[in-house]
Amino acid sequence: MANISQVIACHGYGSIFELSVHFWNLKVMPSTQFYVWRALLDKIATKMNLHKRRIILGDTLCPLCGREEESTSHILITCVVSSSVWNMCNSWIEISTVNHNVLVNHFDQFLCLCFNKAATSCGKVCRFR
């Protein structure tokens, strides 16, 4: 499984700071950048994260599907509801992507698309695709 450190190394960034400088200069809405950055650091206020901080003590199941615990990866990727929304969006804008079960792998794919790298030219991390 890839982690943010492997993505940093694969794309030639020396540290998370170097990656963040590049990331924050992308031509993307600031609110989107902020959300993605928080998601990569697992700082989204999901039921699981709130439970870890003892803010909520009850049910941590996803309110959309009711099948799994609501984690950052689940609400953005693996939930059947969010997955179907992503598939509809991809179809609408006519792009084809690989749907990963790990958020960092999605980010790695995004970096490759942003910088026009072929999936095979990205080295170590792209092998997770």
The dihedral formed by the CA atoms of 24, 27, 31 and 36, expressed in degrees to the nearest 10? -60
pTM metric for this prediction? 0.68
From first to last of its 129 residues, the chain has per-residue pLDDT tens of 356 666 666 666 666 677 777 778 778 888 988 888 888 888 899 999 999 998 977 899 999 999 999 999 899 888 999 888 888 887 887 777 666 666 777 677 766 666 655 444 444 434 333
Q: How many whole angstroms separate alpha carbon 82 and alpha carbon 99?
A: 12
Q: How many whole angstroms separate alpha carbon 127 and alpha carbon 122?
A: 8
Query: Which residue pairs, CB below 8 angstroms and at least 24 apart, start in 7-15?
Result: 7/104, 7/107, 7/108, 7/111, 7/125, 9/124, 9/125, 10/108, 10/122, 10/123, 10/124, 10/125, 10/126, 11/108, 11/111, 11/115, 11/122, 11/125
Sequence spans of domains, the chain: 4-128
Of 115, 113, 97, the C-alpha closest to 22 is 115
32: left (phi over 0), alpha (psi -120 to 50) or beta: alpha
- Exposure of 94 in the CB half-sphere (CA atoms within 13 A): 0
List, in order, residues 6 or more apart from 116 with CB less than 8 Å away: none
